[in-house]
Amino acid sequence: MSELQRVTIRPVDEYNQTLVSYVHPLDWVNPQPADCYDLVVIGAGTAGLVAAGGAALVAGGLKVALIEKHLMGGDCLNFGCVPSKCLIRSSRVVGEIWNAKAYGIRTSKYVDVDFSEVMERMRRVRAGISHNDSAKRFQNMGVDVFLGNAQFSSSDTIKVDHQTLRFKKAVIATGTRPIQPSIPGIEEAGYLTNETVFSLIQKPLSLVVIGGGPIGCELAQAFRRLGCEVILFHKGSHILNKEDADAAEIVQKVFVQEGIRLVLNCQIQKVEKTEDGKTIYFTCNGKQDVVTVDEILVGTGRAPNVEGLNLDVVGVEYDERQGVKVNDYLQTTNPKIYAAGDICMSWKFTHAADAAARIVIRNALFSPFGLGRQKLSSLIMPWVTYTDPEIAHVGMYEHEAQQKGIDVATIKIPFTDVDRAVADGEEEGFVKIHHQKGSDKILGATIVARHAGEMISQITTAIVGNIGLTKLSQVIHPYPTQAEAIRKAADAYYLSTAFTPNTKRLLAWVRKFS
């Protein structure tokens, strides 16, 4: 195996060594390539794993190859969903302790967070589940796993280091990486990204987070609760500005209450490495200012991994910022080559990559003459920002429906009206459902709650199943639960439409004979 393919994840402890032994084993020997593969997948992140594993399992006898140059499992396992949610879980314990007095529990004002143990737990959990994405597991599924650099070498061949793989169909699933911010001096001063922040073993006393989107907000709150002084820089006037404004306002208030300093409408001028740390010069609402911190975490911008693939050789069009160009069937400009996941989609979520990979399997392998193909646009895609409280959304926002010429009505149920939320002391939040005016058809929804991500699937299921608010009002919810807010929203629609003046007169007449 070439030196380029050897991977070390720091710190080099037992957990990271276990991780590497599964997702990039140093003793791995690439198999002898088959004469021709039915499907070759480049990239072993979520999209690549699902595409390769699914193709091998769905249709026995297909020859499938999977190529990965770095870590199987991609960002989700190694630098994204899994490690970040481990940190968020630890930080939520701190949040509970901070709020304990409101529940009649007396605690010390000082919370002793052992940052090194928090990070060790994260590494232990990550290593413990990494076998699910391991090279050996996919080999056992019948997939030929190749570790190395892949590039197209002709219209039907891909080179992996010194080996050549011939293919009938191929999938590009190489994902994205953090972009280098165009801030003078930041490279020399040094900064963290999602690919390096989980290697920390010592807590930075002070941390600047650049970017008020989901990644920046999730990690800013987690590190604040774990004991860091956190300053969040955002160029917009409000954090999470792509989300529902009411939802983002609730999270922003929580951030301020928890001591996160928000620097909004700002422009960073330069960064310098000084004796005291990393000094950031910036302007905010036209005023110049400066701050010095221990570490900088950049949570803005992703670049598609298109370099080195020789896409021009096979006629696959791409953009260095947007990634590989695909049609609604996830087909590239070369009909034999598909793409899935972050490399080609605006939805940059693990579950979106999973869903797209399933579409690719169907369209590339089981749609002869184009019959039965599925469209990416047919997916109903939910997503969650894992702050505390969480923001979960599915379907259209109100402004999106209006842009499409759809008349929208909105039902909003605040958690102050939900008994379980009141008992939990979690009244700051709501369920907001958009429906077509004059109809019970659900167009979209936003939920703000501690476990909003666990609740949004009920509404996603309703949209996918074409279940309207009238039917949803008939779903019995256990009492007391916060999900009862969804039933209340459905009831609000039903009561507003079912009991019209004419209906009430009819019911009064019927009652005389009952």
How far lies 168's CA from each of 243, 278, 360, 428, in Å?
42, 52, 14, 54
Q: Is 104 annotated as a binding residue?
A: no
DSSP designation for 197? G
Do the Cβ atoms of 439 and 422 come closer than 8 Å?
Answer: no
d(CA 328, CA 338): 11
d(CA 351, CA 51): 13
How far lies 253's CA from each of 25, 238, 250, 429, 482, in Å?
46, 11, 5, 12, 21
Q: Is 213 annotated as a binding residue?
A: yes
Q: Is 217 annotated as a binding residue?
A: yes
d(CA 338, CA 106): 58
Residue 22 identity (one-letter amino acid): Y
User: Which letter, b or e, does each residue of 205-215 get, where b requires 16 or more Cβ atoms within 10 Å of its Cβ?
Assistant: ebbbbbbbbbb
Q: Which helix (H) or strand (E) segment is 208 a member of?
A: strand 206-210
| Residues contacting 386, CB < 8 A, separation 6+ | 84, 85, 88, 214, 218, 453
**CA quadruple 87, 92, 97, 98: dihedral positive or negative?**
positive
d(CA 452, CA 421): 12
Three-class SS state of 400: helix
Do the Cβ atoms of 452 and 390 come closer than 8 Å?
Answer: yes
The set of long-range contacts for 9-16, using a CB threshold of 8 Å and a minimum separation of 24, is 9/71, 9/78, 9/199, 10/199, 11/199, 11/201, 13/120, 13/123, 15/120, 15/123, 15/124, 15/126, 15/127, 16/123, 16/127
User: Which letter, b or e, does each residue of 56-75 get, where b requires 16 or more Cβ atoms within 10 Å of its Cβ?
Assistant: beeeeebbbbbbbbbbbbbb
Q: Is 215 annotated as a binding residue?
A: yes
d(CA 344, CA 48): 13
Q: CB-side exposure of 431: number of CA atoms within 13 Å? A: 26
Q: Is 85 annotated as a binding residue?
A: yes
Q: Is 83 annotated as a binding residue?
A: no
Do the Cβ atoms of 413 and 430 come closer than 8 Å?
Answer: yes
d(CA 461, CA 483): 14
With both helix axes pointing from N to C terminus, report the angle between 81-98 and 115-129 in degrees, rounded to the nearest 10: 140
Cα 36 to the chain's mean position, in Å?
Answer: 35
Q: Is 216 annotated as a binding residue?
A: yes
Q: Is 218 annotated as a binding residue?
A: yes
Do the Cβ atoms of 280 and 266 come closer than 8 Å?
Answer: no
Q: Which residues fall in the annotated binding site? A: 85, 211-218, 301, 342
Which residues fall in the annotated binding site for FAD? 85, 342
Binding site residue list for NAD(+): 211-218, 301
